[in-house]
Amino acid sequence: MKFKVNSYHFKLLRDYERLSAFKEAIDDYAESCEGNKSPDGEMVAFDLGCGSGVLSYFACPHMDKVIAIELNNSSYQLAKENLKEFDKIQVFNDDILSFDFSKLNEKADLIICEMLDTALIDEEEVPVLNHAKKYLKEDGKIIPEGILNSAEAVFMNNHFIQYEDDEYSPVYIALGDSMIYSEFDFLDDIDCNFSAMVDLKIFDKKELNEIGFEEEISKERYEKFSFKDNFNIKENKLKINGIKLTSFTKLNENLICGPTPMLNPSMLVPIEEIEVSCGDSVRIKLEYVMGGGVETIKTEVLDIIHN
């Protein structure tokens, strides 16, 4: 099947890892329903933020009806065109946040919603699901099921928020372990205002040696960091000025997908520059609004805990 797409949806379709993760989760769902169809007969899926319509297309063979909703008018036109052969799929051009699901007169067995963004900050996955899941049947499922978010301490060259995508990858040095700081199940009601204390563990000398910190990293790429001024391992001094946020999408209980270029590429967030020692822990306060955009991100260094 050939999809008509604009340049954004072309990139989304070209990201095979992202697509195959969603396809596998939809097929797994269908397999789990075999011989176990909805008691009221019809199997209904909502595809929220359907874009080009690709996920409705994946769901269609397994469902009796697919309701696809898209805010952007030109993407909606593409989805209408791409899905016109499929009588089971209805496409709406609407904002899901104000969409009146009650007019459909039926609830969903399955909600598919790929409005993901790193840590769920810049897209409306959480507010959209908070609204739509009132129209999910009691034993209904959501794809993806949830998300896990991790943070690690870094020293970064630019002091602004940057995604680690294909085109303009930021230059940074990871200086600590990646710690899971939050986990969400999309069946729960989620407060969009996120706030957490995150303890970032800085590598100790042994770990720095293992990653070849002085020999490998100091060589070429990181000269621009004034390496010698910022990292003096002999004197046990390092600087950090950022955190790297990484999200892992839990498509179902057996399928977790890490970042891909178009699905939650890791995000570098600046923090106040501080000097630490190898093996320290740094406690930061991290706040943002899920669905509120990256401008809602706030960080504050609260404490440095010496080893």
Ligand X SMILES: C[S@@+](CC[C@H](N)C(=O)[O-])C[C@H]1O[C@@H](n2cnc3c(N)ncnc32)[C@H](O)[C@@H]1O
Q: Which positions touch ligand X (CB under 6 A)?
A: 12, 49-52, 54-55, 69-72, 75, 95-97, 114-115, 124, 128
- If the CB atoms of residues 241 and 260 are measured against ligand X, the closer one turns out to be 260
- If the CB atoms of residues 20 and 226 are measured against ligand X, the closer one turns out to be 20
- If the CB atoms of residues 123 and 280 are measured against ligand X, the closer one turns out to be 123
- If the CB atoms of residues 122 and 152 are measured against ligand X, the closer one turns out to be 122
- If the CB atoms of residues 89 and 208 are measured against ligand X, the closer one turns out to be 89
- If the CB atoms of residues 125 and 280 are measured against ligand X, the closer one turns out to be 125
Query: Which token pair is 272?
Result: 């106040």
- Region of residue 225 (left: phi > 0; alpha: psi -120 to 50; beta: else): alpha
- If the CB atoms of residues 113 and 202 are measured against ligand X, the closer one turns out to be 113
Cβ of residue 259: shortest distance to ligand X, in angstroms?
14
Query: Which token pair is 8?
Result: 């954004």
Omega of the bond leading into 144 within 30 degrees of 0 (cis): yes
Residue type, 250: K
